[in-house]
Amino acid sequence: MEKWYSREENYTFRGKTDLDLSALNEKPTLSLEEMKSSIFHSSSFFFNSQFLLWKSLKDPQ
C-alpha cells in the first residue's frame, strides 16, 4: 500500500507540471501568484483525499 501511494504521488506531480506549463503558454496573463495558489489548492485537495482513502484502507472501522 505504501508503494502504491508514493507512485500515485509522483504521477500526480508529473501530470500537474505538464498541465501548468501548457496553461502558462496559453495564458501569459496568468500571474505567478495565481499559478501558485491554484497548484497549492489542487494538490492539497488531492493529497487530503488520498490520505483519507489510505487511512480508511489501513484502519478499517
Position 12 in a domain: no
Domain count, the chain: 1
Position 15 in a domain: no
Torsion angle, alpha carbons of 17, 19, 25, 29, to 10: -90
Give the pLDDT of residue 57.
78
Cβ atoms of residues 50 and 1 within 8 Å:
no
Position 41 in a domain: yes
Cell digits of residue 2? 505504501
Q: Which pTM was predicted?
A: 0.23
User: What domain range includes position 52?
Assistant: 32-61
Position 25 in a domain: no
Position 3 in a domain: no
DSSP state at residue 59: S
Position 51 in a domain: yes
User: pLDDT, tens digit, for every residue of 19-54?
Assistant: 555 555 555 555 667 666 665 556 666 677 777 777
Position 4 in a domain: no
Give the pLDDT of residue 24.
53
